[in-house]
Chain A
Amino acid sequence: MSHHLEGSRNSCALHGALQLFESIAGVVPVIHSTSGCGVQHYLGGTRLSGGNDPFGSPAVSSSNIGEKHVVFGGGSRLREQLKNTVKVVQGDLYAIVTGCSTEMVGDDIPAMAKEGLEQDWPVVYANTPGFRGDVHQGYHLAAKTLIEQLPELWKDAEPAPAGLINIWGIIPDQDPFWRGNLDELGRLLEAIGLVPNLLLGGDQGTAAWKRAPGAALNLVVSPWGELPARLLEECYGTPSLSLEGLPVGAAAGILLTRLTEQLGLDPLRTEEFINREQARLQRQFALLADSYYRKGFQREFALVGESSQVVGIGEFLGKSLGLLPRTLVITDNPPEHVREALVNRLTTIVPGYDTELVFSEDRAEIADAIRSGQAGVVLGSSLEQEVAVELGVPFLAVSFPLTNRIVLDRGYAGYRGAVALLEDLGSVILADSLSV
């Protein structure tokens, strides 16, 4: 089972949970672990996701336990840290997350959270030691925490507006374009008369999570959204619609049509919107046409990223832009049951063309796959830049970790994301052709 892993891009569960909590306005995470856990979250996580975390982890409250807390238990240290945090930082919700050391020792976290509640502090907790899994598992654990513990906390659930849609499966920072992607999904839903519940982002606070149980539907855009959607379905009977990846370009239209059918919305309104957006996208294609042919845009590509990104971007490039998916690498270790669907879907993007699909999070193995595929352009994380340089082909950073781009509200989902992708990919291909 165990094997050597080089240059992993999947951090630990604690970090995944922090990434979720930090992305909800008003939530104050409190780390109960050794001091390195929080620092590592910044150094190996938020700092490498497009520079979009001005208040990243160094400022996160942490109990920074030492040997004496390991030996005698760290409960009292956490109690003190929680008290100080509540005093210093105003928050709507305090979320305790634990690391490896405190979980090995067996500190009684629920008891500490309960003590907080008894003081009328809004406290939830998630047991998130790194040994429980990677960053994706952390997203699961944090979402589960909120879904299960918030109703206890706020007996007065916020009434949900009709047509509310929760969006699940986008992991902040693990998808460096998470803000832009969520915004665009929100725009699409609004356009057909739905009310998006993005749940994450600077303007999304705890109120969004209070409303979540009353949603009409859970929209799941990666395998990692399945668990929260299932929990809501079990507790509140909310149905869900599962996509394996982000809808990019024409796929957005397909999604909107499905939603319209499933929720009985006005088909005319939806059709009108899709036509308008599709026409706009066509105009952008037309604008690109000259460069496309002159600079030989149509070429084989390698794409490395999380399953939702590879599905979304890969299908758009292959189906709409006429590029050829030579090597596709999925790095998020999707659960066994979705792998088969991913294989079927991704190896047939361009019928008759031979696409190599690899599941790996190992930098060297990924580089080997790209190298042997000899694609004419590489899209991936900054870890793939080296092999692109080696192959002498243009490179676009689209997945985590990302060291050479600032990402504020750019996204690659939906129609607007498709245009952004055309611009970004076109630019690197153009720049490359000028440099030779």
Chain B
Amino acid sequence: MSEKIGKHIAIYGKGGIGKSTTTSNISAALAESGYRVIQIGCDPKSDSTTILRGGNDLPTVLDTLREQSKVRIEDISAVGFGGVLCIEAGGPVPGVGCAGRGINAAVELLQELKLFDEFKPDFVLYDVLGDVVCGGFAVPIRDGLADRAFVVTSSDFMAIFAANNLFKAVNKYAPSGGARLGGVIANSILAPYAPALIDDFAGKTGSQVIGYVPRSLVVAQSELYGQTVIEAVPQSEQAQVYRNLAKFIDENEETVIPKPLNGPELKKWAREWGDRIFEVEAGVVHEMASI
């Protein structure tokens, strides 16, 4: 690949955990501070950039590729809030075809179109669908496409499980030039134990939490306006949280190769946390804790 233009960042995480929301807000915050940003949704649902562009229609790369043989960047991109260039890879309808190969084909096309040479981005953010279910979804972190991967997780076990799976993929590809881990983004923080739980997981796997995003009504409200929090409620505390995340990503380029837990380790870890949370909820007071 020719010299890379801009910093390429991939965001992973369990389905529905808040990847698109978080990524869009980070994009908006980066744009707000003057950077040129591209956000690429790598998800057949093609809803990654919705709140950056007021919910307007955007033909996906693959749909366009299917319909016309010659594709131009203008056909498959839209300029959203703060000048963020929005692109949706798209994919097949659920249950047919191979979405993984779709991501592959879309990314290849973007490279053929010399998107990065044309747009000269400072940041490119890839918002990648749920679990790394097959090789196709690992494309952004393979081949050195993205330099850094971040994972969004809540304190739910299944979200942690998905994060651990991403660690496995990073662990596999990083040594041969794939992306390394930038850190963990803790999202939808509500329960008092949540930060400690996610911290503990990060610690056990040799990674770090780069920010805690509270669960907030502002997010839902902004979404209903078809906007990011940065755009809809720029003065809010929530907006500041996203700005801090963006700032961290901008200023810290440190990465690690995480050490994912194996099956039994993860189960044991979860069980221990289960016991602790249950005790907290049930109001059991340990002698030690009472001192």
**Residue B98 interfacial (CB < 8 Å):** yes
**Residue B65 interfacial (CB < 8 Å):** yes
Cα–Cα distance between A70 and B105 once the two chains are bound (Å): 10
- B2-41 CB mask vs A (1 if < 8 Å, else 0) is 0000000000000000000000000000000000000000
16 residue pairs of the A-B complex, CB under 8 angstroms, read A68-B66, A69-B97, A70-B101, A71-B62, A71-B66, A71-B92, A71-B99, A71-B105, A72-B93, A72-B96, A72-B97, A73-B98, A74-B97, A75-B96, A104-B98, A105-B101
- B87-105 CB mask vs A (1 if < 8 Å, else 0) is 0000111001111011001
Contacts known (A68-B65, A71-B62, A71-B91); A107 close to B101, Cβ less than 8 A: no
Q: Are A105 and B97 in contact (CB under 8 A)?
A: yes
- Closest approach, in angstroms, between the C-beta of B42 and any C-beta of chain A? 13
**Residue A290 interfacial (CB < 8 Å):** no
Cα–Cα distance between A105 and B96 once the two chains are bound (Å): 7
What residues of chain B lie closer than 8 Å to A73, measured between beta carbons?
92, 96-98
- Closest approach, in angstroms, between the C-beta of A79 and any C-beta of chain B? 13
What residues of chain A lie closer than 8 Å to B66, measured between beta carbons?
68, 71-72
Cα–Cα distance between A106 and B99 once the two chains are bound (Å): 11
Cα–Cα distance between A423 and B66 once the two chains are bound (Å): 61
**B window 70-101: CB within 8 A of A:** 91-93, 96-99, 101
- Closest approach, in angstroms, between the C-beta of B14 and any C-beta of chain A? 23
Q: Are A107 and B65 in contact (CB under 8 A)?
A: no
Chain A residues at the B interface, C-beta cutoff of 8 Å: 67-75, 104-108
Please give 5 more A-B residue pairs, beta carbons under 8 A apart, in addition to A68-B65, A72-B93: A72-B97, A72-B102, A73-B98, A105-B96, A105-B97
Cα–Cα distance between A90 and B105 once the two chains are bound (Å): 38
Question: Closest chain A residue to B91 by CB distance?
Answer: A71
Q: Are A107 and B105 in contact (CB under 8 A)?
A: no
Cα–Cα distance between A344 and B45 once the two chains are bound (Å): 61
- Closest approach, in angstroms, between the C-beta of B136 and any C-beta of chain A? 10
Which secondary structure characterizes the binding site on chain A?
Answer: helix
Cα–Cα distance between A69 and B66 once the two chains are bound (Å): 9
Q: Are A72 and B92 in contact (CB under 8 A)?
A: yes
Q: How large is the interface on B (under 10, 10 to 19, 20 to 34, 35 or more residues)?
A: 10 to 19
Cα–Cα distance between A75 and B93 once the two chains are bound (Å): 13
Chain B residues at the A interface, C-beta cutoff of 8 Å: 62, 65-66, 91-93, 96-99, 101-102, 105
Cα–Cα distance between A69 and B99 once the two chains are bound (Å): 11
- Closest approach, in angstroms, between the C-beta of B234 and any C-beta of chain A? 39
What residues of chain A lie closer than 8 Å to B105, measured between beta carbons?
67, 71
Cα–Cα distance between A75 and B95 once the two chains are bound (Å): 12
Residue of A72, A106, A107, A108 contacting most chain B CB atoms (<10 Å): A72
What residues of chain B lie closer than 8 Å to A107, measured between beta carbons?
96
- Closest approach, in angstroms, between the C-beta of A55 and any C-beta of chain B? 33
Q: Which A-B residue pairs are the 6 nearest by beta carbons?
A: A73-B96, A73-B97, A71-B102, A72-B97, A72-B92, A105-B98
What residues of chain A lie closer than 8 Å to B92, measured between beta carbons?
71-73
Cα–Cα distance between A104 and B96 once the two chains are bound (Å): 11
Q: Are B65 and A70 in contact (CB under 8 A)?
A: no
Question: Closest chain A residue to B106 by CB distance?
Answer: A71
Cα–Cα distance between A414 and B72 once the two chains are bound (Å): 68
Question: Closest chain A residue to B67 by CB distance?
Answer: A68
Residue of A71, A74, A105, A108 contacting most chain B CB atoms (<10 Å): A71
Residue of B65, B96, B105 contacting most chain A CB atoms (<10 Å): B96
Question: Closest chain B residue to A76 by CB distance?
Answer: B96
- Closest approach, in angstroms, between the C-beta of B69 and any C-beta of chain A? 10
Cα–Cα distance between A73 and B102 once the two chains are bound (Å): 10
- Closest approach, in angstroms, between the C-beta of B103 and any C-beta of chain A? 9
Cα–Cα distance between A378 and B65 once the two chains are bound (Å): 56
Cα–Cα distance between A326 and B91 once the two chains are bound (Å): 60
Q: Are B96 and A67 in contact (CB under 8 A)?
A: no
Cα–Cα distance between A426 and B14 once the two chains are bound (Å): 72
What residues of chain B lie closer than 8 Å to A72, measured between beta carbons?
62, 66, 92-93, 96-97, 102
What residues of chain B lie closer than 8 Å to A106, measured between beta carbons?
96, 98
Cα–Cα distance between A68 and B68 once the two chains are bound (Å): 11
Cα–Cα distance between A75 and B98 once the two chains are bound (Å): 12
- Closest approach, in angstroms, between the C-beta of B82 and any C-beta of chain A? 31
What residues of chain A lie closer than 8 Å to B99, measured between beta carbons?
71
Cα–Cα distance between A106 and B96 once the two chains are bound (Å): 7
- Closest approach, in angstroms, between the C-beta of A65 and any C-beta of chain B? 11
- Closest approach, in angstroms, between the C-beta of A32 and any C-beta of chain B? 14
- Closest approach, in angstroms, between the C-beta of A109 and any C-beta of chain B? 12
Cα–Cα distance between A146 and B42 once the two chains are bound (Å): 43
What residues of chain A lie closer than 8 Å to B62, measured between beta carbons?
71-72
What residues of chain B lie closer than 8 Å to A108, measured between beta carbons?
96
Cα–Cα distance between A398 and B99 once the two chains are bound (Å): 47
Q: Are B98 and A70 in contact (CB under 8 A)?
A: yes
What residues of chain A lie closer than 8 Å to B101, measured between beta carbons?
67, 70-71, 105
- Closest approach, in angstroms, between the C-beta of A77 and any C-beta of chain B? 11
What residues of chain A lie closer than 8 Å to B98, measured between beta carbons?
70-71, 73, 104-106
Cα–Cα distance between A71 and B93 once the two chains are bound (Å): 10
Cα–Cα distance between A67 and B103 once the two chains are bound (Å): 12
What residues of chain B lie closer than 8 Å to A67, measured between beta carbons?
101, 105
Cα–Cα distance between A105 and B97 once the two chains are bound (Å): 5
Cα–Cα distance between A68 and B98 once the two chains are bound (Å): 10
What residues of chain B lie closer than 8 Å to A69, measured between beta carbons?
97
Cα–Cα distance between A72 and B94 once the two chains are bound (Å): 10
- Closest approach, in angstroms, between the C-beta of B6 and any C-beta of chain A? 26
- Closest approach, in angstroms, between the C-beta of A147 and any C-beta of chain B? 30
Cα–Cα distance between A106 and B101 once the two chains are bound (Å): 13
What residues of chain A lie closer than 8 Å to B97, measured between beta carbons?
69-74, 105
What residues of chain B lie closer than 8 Å to A105, measured between beta carbons?
96-98, 101
